[in-house]
Amino acid sequence: MAYQSKLKSDEINNELNDVEHGKTFLNKEITNERMEKRILLDKVARKVFSLSTVFALIVLGILFYRIGTQSIGWLDLKFLTSNLSIFPEKAGIYGAIIGSVWLMAVVIPVTLLLGVSTAIYLEEYANQGKFQSFIKTNISNLAGVPSVIFGLLGLTVFRRLFDLGSSILAGGLTLSLLVLPIIVVASQEAIRAVPGFLRDGAYAMGATKWTTIRTVVLPASLPGILTGCILAISRAIGETAPLVVLGIPTLILRIPDSIMSDFTALPIQIYYWTLDTVLTPQYANLAAATIVVLLVVLLLMNSVAIFIRIKFQRRY
């Protein structure tokens, strides 16, 4: 037996040798010369790519430095808890924070419900025909439409047609429209990533489509859906343009207390304070302090998204 297997391995070795001693198709001298050039090019490429990264980091650093130095002394607890005022020393962003929270209270349920339902329909129920692929492509395109356009849409539909004024509801619905495509696309991807054999397992047990979606597809795709939602919502929380187009009043002294109240939000506050810096230079410091608050909120939300992604990551 051992003898036989030795014979066999000898045969294989011979075959390999035949290949090695066959025709030479690489002239080692020429290839070595070319290799020098390639190694050099490799070093250059490394430098170019790392410099690109450094450039972005430097710009970000400058931004942080400016905001940091401008907001020092202005960002304190009083800033977070006092209401707007025309006197910079007294002004705070309490109203804007509450306004942003109200906005999210509209955006989160609306986008989650509509976005996830749309994604489920497109991925699970819709026939994969030409019309469906047309819709799918256009949802991806919508995600790239400038936010000002969504502001105009909100102005036409919610403010003029439905007569919602510049209320939280009008603003929230406008922002929902803006981030809906993002949630739909993210949810679609998460749902598509659920392997077909899991669905088959459920179908083979006599589960209906909806039961399969509810018990297998959604639980498995939930981390992806949630991550997409949080990222979309953090986009909504930082949007200014649609709200400006919608005509949010510049100075609101009342804290919003219902869905129909007028409101201001964090990015709007930054925008108006920056505009008025010419009149009152201290407004620049207020804007910087608000930027810090907004950045912290965004960072927190993104960390939650990353946490969910890592914590619930599943392998099949």
Under the binding rule (CB under 8 A), the answer on residue 208 touching another protein is yes
Under the binding rule (CB under 8 A), the answer on residue 128 touching another protein is yes
* Cβ proximity of 296 and 276 under 8 Å: no
- Which CB atom, from 155 or from 226, has the smaller least distance to another protein? 226
The nearest distance, CB 200 to another protein, in angstroms, is 6
Under the binding rule (CB under 8 A), the answer on residue 3 touching another protein is no
Of 10, 33, 200, 257, the one binding another protein (CB under 8 A) is: 200
Instruction: State the amino acid at position 9 in one-letter form.
Output: S
Under the binding rule (CB under 8 A), the answer on residue 313 touching another protein is no
- Which CB atom, from 128 or from 133, has the smaller least distance to another protein? 128
- Which CB atom, from 73 or from 196, has the smaller least distance to another protein? 196
Question: x/- contact string, 213-232, with another protein (CB under 8 A)?
Answer: --xx--xx------------
State the Cα angle at 103 between 242 and 178, rounded to 5°.
Answer: 40
Under the binding rule (CB under 8 A), the answer on residue 316 touching another protein is yes
Site size toward another protein (CB under 8 A) is: 21
The nearest distance, CB 315 to another protein, in angstroms, is 7
The nearest distance, CB 82 to another protein, in angstroms, is 49
The nearest distance, CB 305 to another protein, in angstroms, is 20
Cα 188 to Cα 139: distance, rounded to the nearest angstrom: 11
Under the binding rule (CB under 8 A), the answer on residue 127 touching another protein is yes
Of 205, 253, 260, 306, the one binding another protein (CB under 8 A) is: 205
Of 110, 139, 207, 297, the one binding another protein (CB under 8 A) is: 207
Of 50, 211, 250, 303, the one binding another protein (CB under 8 A) is: 211
Of 96, 202, 246, 284, the one binding another protein (CB under 8 A) is: 202
Please report, as ranges, the residues that interact with another protein according to CB under 8 A.
127-128, 197-198, 200-208, 211, 215-216, 219-220, 314-316
